[in-house]
Chain A
Amino acid sequence: MISLSEERLRGLLAWIVIVLLAVPVGGALWLGVAHGESPCILCWAQRTSMVLIALVALFVVRYGPRPRYLGMVVLLGAWGTFMALRHSALHLARDVGQGFSGSILGAHTYIWSWVIHWLVLVVVAVLLLVLRGKLSDDAVAAPGRAGRFAMGLLVVMAAANAVQAFVSTGPPPFIGQGDPIRLSLNPRHWVWAQDELSGRISWRGSWTIPRPDAAVADPNPDHGPLAALPALPVQRWERISARLDGSLNGFATSASAGSGPALAATDRFGVYVLDSTFSRVLHRVVLDPGFSIDLSPLAGAAFLNGDTLAVMSDNKSYVLLRPDAAADPALEWRHFLDTDGGVTEVRRGRFATVRARQLYALALAYDPAADELITLTVPSQRHQRLVVSRFDRADFLLASEFLPRLAPGLTPSGPDRGLAEYLVTGAAVADGLLYAISAAYSTLLVIDLRSKEVTAAYAVPGISNPVGLAARGAELLVAQADGRIAVLERPHRSSSPWT
């Protein structure tokens, strides 16, 4: 067994301090002096952490391995690892080759920070494993030549960093910057700022996205963001009389031109194929939401031509199903918590978006002309956007994405009002138009998929908590959570899909 005396530990630590200060800390200084690279506020904290780790090691060199020094170095290693991961998370998932500032040996400085802090923890653990005898509380020891050199080097490095910090971040109360400028010794180029002190404090930052709840939306069309909308009255009411387990969360019909089976999704992950009168269940499965890609509450449903069924959860995960008389119960057991035995799961995946990122979606539609699936987002307090995302059915990747504009003739009801206030919970495509029903303000939006404009909007008084929208010939069916279906006359229909 390898063992290490306290005296040798002190000597070894002195050399570790020299390497730590000379390579990563000295390298960072060199980047600044030779290449003008200034650290951002997060980089500064990580560089400071490395110097502090060197300082704690020098405490051990001078005073011996006291427990509080070891506790402090483990804390610094753990906190530094966290800082580096937190910092790297801003850039790791970007496109190939996209980082922040310069790189060393192919990796950016925040990655090296992670490696170094992680190595500190490993080295501390190894040294404790091989340290012979008890942790001491000895008096001051005279450092050897390496120890003295390490202490002098720390003082020099701390002074040099203080100079760089003064130049690039300024004296208190100024602090580091999120997007620092090039280092310069010319005072005319110095920028001292406190920008980072402003901004909303939040535990999860821009990822603080509450789950949407359409049930609490204001249904009154008169309060909506668009002024003087014409009313589109409910022609009659129908009802899903087939027995569903749970309340309705998504609804679609198979043929926009006439009658056909319908698709219903419930808040208990039930997916039902219903007959055209919604009175009989033709197929039924209960999806396993925790298997593989996780499903949050189901929110949208669509038929993809033929008999392929698509359901989407509000986190934009989706499942494709197909009625299959030859479905293998043993194979499908892993997909379904319950099944009638006549359905196969074809695919389970996640829609990846750009503008709709960090937004939940409660509506799914299928455009047969383009062979694309369409999702619409719901706004959150953090991100106020109504985004239409289109996914190619060939690979289920994003084909296009847009924020609809208002066509001439539609006017906001106030200076700060806009489409992002709508909470779209159902969508359907017919005649080249995307129809979207909003639970907020009970409004039907008509979106031209070519011009990307909302060409018309209608108040639909009398509906409550709509969860799905389907086209059926000349009608639109607004499905409510309670299973009732409001039948509307479909506006802007035409005999040609491109007129």
Chain B
Amino acid sequence: MEFLNFLLILWAGWLVWRRPERERLAFGLLVASCLLMALLFLIGTHGSFVPGVNL
């Protein structure tokens, strides 16, 4: 999934660089990548949102 995420970023970065008129698509890819990144982090912590410390 991390591989897929960097492909999304690569695509978005390419659009910003070489196809600036596709801003909406590039920003959509950015948002999708952010969500995937957050999801992968939460999977990595098994949903344990709070660190293993006393609150």
Interface residues of A (CB under 8 A from B): 40-42, 44-46, 48-49, 51-52, 55-56, 58-59, 62-63, 68, 72, 75-76, 79, 83, 85-86, 89-90, 93, 140, 148, 151-152, 154-155, 158-159, 161-162, 165-166, 169-176, 178, 196-197, 199-207
Contact B44 A162 (CB under 8 A): no
User: Interface majority SS on B: helix, strand, loop or mixed?
Assistant: helix
Name the residue on A nearest B47 (C-beta).
Answer: A201
Interface mask (B24-36 → A, CB under 8 Å = 1, otherwise 0): 0011001101100
Name the residue on A nearest B39 (C-beta).
Answer: A45
- Min CB gap B18→A, angstroms: 8
Residues from chain B with Cβ under 8 Å of A76 in the complex: 34
Contact A59 B30 (CB under 8 A): yes
The 11 listed contacts between A and B (C-beta, < 8 Å) are A42-B45, A58-B13, A62-B16, A62-B20, A76-B34, A86-B50, A151-B13, A158-B13, A166-B3, A196-B44, A202-B47
- A161-B43 in contact given A68-B27, A152-B17, A205-B48 (Cβ < 8 Å): no
- A52-B34 in contact given A151-B16, A165-B6 (Cβ < 8 Å): yes
- Min CB gap A74→B, angstroms: 12
Contact B20 A169 (CB under 8 A): no
Name the residue on A nearest B43 (C-beta).
Answer: A196
A-B contacts besides A172-B4, A175-B40, A205-B48, 10 pairs, CB < 8 Å: A40-B44, A41-B2, A48-B9, A52-B30, A52-B33, A59-B26, A72-B34, A140-B20, A159-B10, A207-B53
Contact A48 B30 (CB under 8 A): no
Contact A205 B44 (CB under 8 A): no
B interface residues, tally (CB under 8 Å): 38
- Min CB gap A228→B, angstroms: 41
Residues from chain B with Cβ under 8 Å of A172 in the complex: 1, 3-4
Name the residue on A nearest B50 (C-beta).
Answer: A204
Residues from chain B with Cβ under 8 Å of A59 in the complex: 16, 23, 26-27, 30
Interface residues of B (CB under 8 A from A): 1-7, 9-10, 12-14, 16-17, 20-21, 23, 26-27, 30-31, 33-34, 37-38, 40-41, 43-53
- B2's partner among A148, A165, A199, A207 (CB-CB below 8 A) is A165
Residues from chain A with Cβ under 8 Å of B1 in the complex: 169, 172-176
Residues from chain B with Cβ under 8 Å of A199 in the complex: 46
Most buried by B among A56, A62, A158: A158
User: Interface majority SS on A: helix, strand, loop or mixed?
Assistant: helix
Question: Ordered nearest first, which 10 A-B pairs have the shortest CB separation?
Answer: A205-B48, A89-B51, A41-B44, A162-B6, A45-B41, A151-B17, A201-B47, A158-B10, A165-B2, A165-B3
- A169-B46 in contact given A55-B16, A206-B52 (Cβ < 8 Å): no
- A52-B37 in contact given A40-B44, A45-B44, A161-B6 (Cβ < 8 Å): yes
Most buried by A among B7, B21, B48: B48
- A203-B41 in contact given A52-B33, A155-B14 (Cβ < 8 Å): no
- A155's partner among B2, B17, B23, B33 (CB-CB below 8 A) is B17
- A79's partner among B10, B38, B46 (CB-CB below 8 A) is B38
- A203-B40 in contact given A159-B10, A171-B4 (Cβ < 8 Å): no
Residues from chain B with Cβ under 8 Å of A159 in the complex: 6, 10
Contact B6 A85 (CB under 8 A): no
- A83's partner among B10, B41, B48 (CB-CB below 8 A) is B41
- A197-B43 in contact given A158-B13, A207-B50 (Cβ < 8 Å): yes
Residues from chain A with Cβ under 8 Å of B43 in the complex: 41, 175, 196-197
Name the residue on A nearest B54 (C-beta).
Answer: A207
Q: A59 to B13, alpha carbons, bound, how many Å?
A: 9
Contact B3 A154 (CB under 8 A): no
Residues from chain B with Cβ under 8 Å of A176 in the complex: 1-2, 40, 44
- B44's partner among A42, A85, A140 (CB-CB below 8 A) is A42
Residues from chain B with Cβ under 8 Å of A75 in the complex: 34
Residues from chain A with Cβ under 8 Å of B33 in the complex: 48, 52
Q: A319 to B34, alpha carbons, bound, how many Å?
A: 49
Most buried by A among B5, B14, B21, B38: B5
Name the residue on B nearest A59 (C-beta).
Answer: B16
Contact B21 A140 (CB under 8 A): yes
- Min CB gap A101→B, angstroms: 15
Q: A202 to B42, alpha carbons, bound, how many Å?
A: 11
Contact A162 B10 (CB under 8 A): yes
Residues from chain B with Cβ under 8 Å of A89 in the complex: 51-53
Residues from chain A with Cβ under 8 Å of B16 in the complex: 55, 58-59, 62, 151
Contact A175 B46 (CB under 8 A): no
Name the residue on A nearest B5 (C-beta).
Answer: A48
